Structure 1
Amino acid sequence: MSTAKGGGNAGEGNGGAASGKGKRSRAGGTSGMPSGAPVAPPAGSVPAAPLTVGRVGIYVLLLVAGVLVAGAGTLVQAAWFPGGLALALAGVGGLFYGGGRATGTSAGVLVPGAAWLVTVFLLLSNVRPEGDFLFGAGLGSYIFLLGGIVVAVICATAQQMRPTGVRPGRVGG
């Protein structure tokens, strides 16, 4: 930090402070901070979480849970139409929100969301030659398909907007 006694290094870019005049320059980006001070990340950026064995285990569990919730939701939404559909979408929302909160990253929403999407669209909506299928052509099936995608997008977007590691305080110093 630059003081009237010339307490700045010449390499810090703090203008006239290194020459001993005792003035601080506005042009220097680090003139007001000590060299070892932690720097807060820019607004809107989320620091990447380290990939550990525990985190990979959580992602694998979320992947399996996404497949299970997709299968259960497919069966429940058609069984009891209005209540089953609400229960299936609540289960999907709980999985996506819980995955985001458990990992603290948007990948916690995207991993079970991708598993759910692949399971529902590719595996469960496939019609076999014998005529067996899990999804009917009713309105509830389409609401479940599109509603699950909308819930995943909402949870992923809300997870990205949540500030992490930034303390509340005054703007500008």
Structure 2
Amino acid sequence: MTPPGPARPARRSIPAAVLGTRDERLKETQPPRAARIAVYVLLFPLGFAVSVCGAFVQALWPPVGVLLALAATAATFYGGLRVTGTRLGAAVPAGGWFLALLLVMVPRPEGDNVLWTNATSLAWLFAGSILGVICATLPTRAGWFPGVAGPPR
């Protein structure tokens, strides 16, 4: 009779395997303050660029383009949250995203529009806004402002 081998680890769901569990995320160490500030400075133009690119991609390939633009938007917001460990890390690219939207929604003097009032444009605007709010309110390792400790856990 052979001795039993090591116990197999419990199977994890796909989101838990990719993103980690809530407890694992909250136990991660936070980057130094100077590094977080540098990341915030880079996240704003990244959110701006994702918004401008998403405005064109969602119109270029109507059903698939919206999903592609939303995936890039969600990755930017959630990536900022995970890299900095603060909610501000998700809010900064969301601010750049909204600023770019304000600029691309204004019609040009020639009458050209980047975003039209069709289903794909409105779905991208609405779902992207919801993604920004969701990512900015997820539990984090710190409070809203950089360097401010969160509630005790």
Q: Which residue of 1 aligns with 2:109?
A: 129
Q: Which aligned segments of 4 or more residues in structure 1 are displaced greater than 6 angstroms? A: 161-167
**What's the counterpart of residue 62 of structure 1?**
43
Q: TM-score w.r.t. structure 2 length?
A: 0.70
Which protein, 1 or 2, shows the higher relative CO under an 8 Å CA cutoff with sep ≥ 6?
2
Distance 1:67 1:118 in 2: 7
Residue number in structure 2 paired with 1:85:
66
Q: Could you tell me which residue of structure 1 aligns to residue 34 of structure 2?
A: 53
Please give the residue correspondences for 1:16-165 in structure 2 after superposition, counting only pairs within 5 Å: 52-120=33-101, 122-160=102-140
1:100·1:159 contact (CA, 8 Å) conserved in 2? no
Q: Is the 8 A contact 2:59 2:120 kept in 1?
A: yes
Identity %: 40
**Structure 1 segments unaligned to the other structure (5+ residues):** 1-48, 168-173
Shift of 1:95: 0.3
User: Would you tell me which structure has more helix in proportion to its own residues?
Assistant: 2
CA distance in 2, matches of 1:124, 1:82: 20
Task: Provide the rounded CA distance (Å) in 2 between the counterparts of 1:64 and 1:79.
Answer: 22
Shift, 1:53, TM fit: 2.7
In 2: Cα distance, 1:160 partner to 1:104 partner: 6
5+ residue gaps, structure 2, are 1-29, 144-149
Taking the aligned partners of 1:55 and 1:162, their CA distance within structure 2 comes to: 12
RMSD of aligned C-alpha atoms?
Answer: 2.5
- Count of matched residue positions in the alignment of Structure 1 and Structure 2: 118
Which has the larger Rg? 1
